[in-house]
Each structure stands twice: as C-alpha cells, then as structure tokens.
Amino acid sequence: MLDRKTLEARVSQRFPSVVIGDESGDLALTVGRMHLVELAAWLRDEPELNFKFLNNLCGVDFLGREPRFEVVVHLTSIPNQMRIALHVGVPENDPTVPTLTRLFPTANYQERETYDMFGIIFTGHPGLERILMPEDWMGYPQRKDHPLGYEEVAFTHNEDWIYANKPFAKE
C-alpha cells in the first residue's frame, strides 16, 4: 500500500516543478499546464501508483488572482485507496489546457462542462461543445464576471418591448 510520504517523494523526484500541497487532508499537486498530461499519465501507468480512476474534473474562477482560472482534477488509486488532487492554473488571456480524455475517457463530459461554464479550452478534446447550456448561449455562466441577469416576465402588453431590450449576456 502506498502511503502519502512515498508518493510525495516519488512525485518530487520525477517532477521537480510540481508544487506539493495539501487540500483538506488530500494530497494536492499544483502542476503547470505543459506537464499535466505527462504527470497524469505517469500517475496512471506507474504500477505502484495506479491512479486509474478520474473522479472529478472541474474549473474554478479565482477572479482577481493570477492565473485567473484553475482546473482541478481528482484522481483515485483503487488498489491504494487514495485520492489526490491536481491543480492546474490557467491564465485568462490563454485559457487552454491539454485534454485528459485520451488517458481518461471519463474526462470527456467533465471537460465539456468546464468549457461550457468557464470557457477553458481543452486542446485535443474530440468534441468540445457546450453540454449543459444551450448551444447559442453567449458567455460562460460560471465565470464570476458573468452577468447574473434578470428577466422581466413577458406579457402581451409588454413583450415587444421586452424582446427588443432583452439583456442578452455580453462577452
């Protein structure tokens, strides 16, 4: 069974650039975008590590911080009964992250959702489209600067006015 100390040591030996941290008791690795796929593949394929299961992939918008976005990936090693988090910073002016779908097919929908909600582009994804929001939605709703909006209820007496002035979300 793998313990946390060994894993930390192995990660820092193999990937010196990875920052090792803690996320409420779970091991958290902060990794650059260019190393993400390499690190994930290594974690997955190294026999003793065996992080074959991708639990969760989501985006976070730290508005006002640099880098603004963060993609958080949680991996589980079923034989080791251990969960780790990978944090990947994504700058606002170039919101791209290499896709993990080739390693973990389960990342497919979660990356689509993250793209849908945060506009983070996963390069190499086989079908990066909106998944939860309508296809013609403007903007990325879970960004902190997305207008929350308010819709006036349309009645016959005011619907023309409402549709003319409808506050569509701006980029």
Our CB check for another protein shows the closer of 157 and 170 to be 170
What is the torsional sign of CA 36, 112, 122, 91? negative
Q: Render 40-54 in DSSP notation, one character per residue.
A: HHHHHHSTTT---EE
Our CB check for another protein shows the closer of 74 and 120 to be 74
In this structure, what DSSP letter does residue 95 have?
-
Our CB check for another protein shows the closer of 10 and 130 to be 130
Query: CB of 162: closest distance to another protein in angstroms?
Result: 21
Q: Enumerate residues 5-64 that contact another protein by CB under 8 A.
A: 23-26, 37-38, 41, 44-45, 52-56, 58, 60-62
Our CB check for another protein shows the closer of 12 and 106 to be 106
Binding mask 88-127 for another protein (x = CB under 8 A): --------------xxxxxxxxx-xx---x--------xx
128 closest CA partner among 55, 138, 118:
118
In Å, what is the CA distance from 15 to each residue of 1, 10, 40, 140?
A: 22, 8, 11, 33
Q: Residue 78 is encoded by which pair of tokens?
A: 């079923």
49 closest CA partner among 22, 9, 87:
9
- Binding site residues, another protein, CB under 8 A: 23-26, 37-38, 41, 44-45, 52-56, 58, 60-62, 72, 74, 78, 81, 83, 85, 102-110, 112-113, 117, 126-127, 129-135, 141-142, 148
